[in-house]
Structure 1
């Protein structure tokens, strides 16, 4: 009887939840920790599925994300080696709705390395993914705003939790993301 009551309560709880599918894209600024490099600009784009439970919302997603870094020469000239790391990110976020239009969120994110391009100043490049770990685990924190017409905006930070093992050096991916999204 107890199990039946729990099942009825759970079905009613999730049945009252509102779910929304959406898309999100934006600007990224990525860099490695503990490495003498500058941030590199990129973009991210993907989809999410938000299950709104009132005060809380659960939001799994899937997105393409550019990460990496650039190394400026000793002379400080604009010429730099640029390394672009392309990942598929799989975040699992929990949002706390503070006001009808404002929320904060956090959660884990698994990322899979899909490609790499290291461009040297002389024009040559390397595309092998061998010198870097093929996956990444990060923690995501941020703040979001619900806008009119189904739009939303957010600022988030991906904080690397495991080493990228870049040429056997202990560095982590850190990414600042500014996004605009749309709920269908």
Structure 2
């Protein structure tokens, strides 16, 4: 909970800074949402579809470089490989901080860290195991992606996020002792400026 509070404080501080600096530099605020295809790295799982959505602030440092902190709801998880009806549903508040390079004004490449905080964990199959006792509350990883703006305001983005930290609690009563979130995202973005 402390980590979530810290991340939200940092994000709100960034947004306040953006409002203060908007008259001196190029700052854009926007919304984004789309489809997650996620899995937990384990031989016993396969991908499942989910939703992501949230907001961002884009700070242009130069004509080709910008930094974009975001606050997103991320619906992640996985299906059990042997049975598509068995799923784990993991809901996170994620705070990616992406460093973007504009190849041309409409097209950008991006990379950066992502800090995620578990808000809900559920298994949709009968079990005596509480999902919140199995999954750690903090996740860290790196994202790599691209995006293209069709107009000044509307664009399409794609990103791959690779988890670095093990999300499974030590001593958890599950078939695997290690697992990392991995997700491919594709979605739409709208900039207000």
TM bracket (short chain): 0.7 to 0.9
CA–CA distance in 1 between the matches of 2:56 and 2:132?
27
166-175 vs 133-142, which moves further: 166-175
| 2:16 counterpart residue number | none
Give, in angstroms, the shift of residue 126 of structure 1. Answer: 6.6
Q: Does 1:86 align with 2:91?
A: yes
TM-score (norm 2): 0.79
Give, in angstroms, the shift of residue 51 of structure 1. Answer: 0.7
Structure 1 residues 126 and 27, CA, compared in 2 at 3 Å: closer, same or farther?
farther
Rg comparison, structure with higher value: 1
- 2:75 pairs with one of 56, 59, 66: 66
Give, in angstroms, the shift of residue 58 of structure 1. Answer: 0.6
Structure 1 residues 125 and 152, CA, compared in 2 at 3 Å: closer, same or farther?
farther
TM-score (norm 1): 0.83
CA contact (8 A) 1:37 1:70 kept: yes
* Cα RMSD, aligned residues only: 2.1
Q: How many residue pairs get matched?
A: 166
CA–CA distance in 2 between the matches of 1:49 and 1:81?
37
| 1:10 counterpart residue number | none
CA–CA distance in 1 between the matches of 2:68 and 2:84?
40
Q: Does 1:163 align with 2:166?
A: yes
List aligned pairs for 1:89-100, cutoff 5 A. Answer: 89-100=94-105
Q: Does 1:51 align with 2:54?
A: no
CA–CA distance in 2 between the matches of 1:147 and 1:36?
40
CA contact (8 A) 1:68 1:85 kept: yes
Q: Does 1:173 align with 2:181?
A: yes
Give runs of ≥4 in structure 1 deviating > 6 Å. Answer: none
Partner-residue secondary structure (3-state), 1:65: strand
> What does the per-residue CA deviation read over 1:110-164, in whole Å, with 9 as the maximum and x for residues that have no partner?
00000011011x6x79764111111100100001111215001111001011111
CA contact (8 A) 1:119 1:126 kept: no
Unmatched runs of 5 consecutive residues or more in structure 2: 1-20
Partner-residue secondary structure (3-state), 1:129: helix
Structure 1 residues 38 and 128, CA, compared in 2 at 3 Å: closer, same or farther?
closer
Structure 1 residues 98 and 114, CA, compared in 2 at 3 Å: closer, same or farther?
same
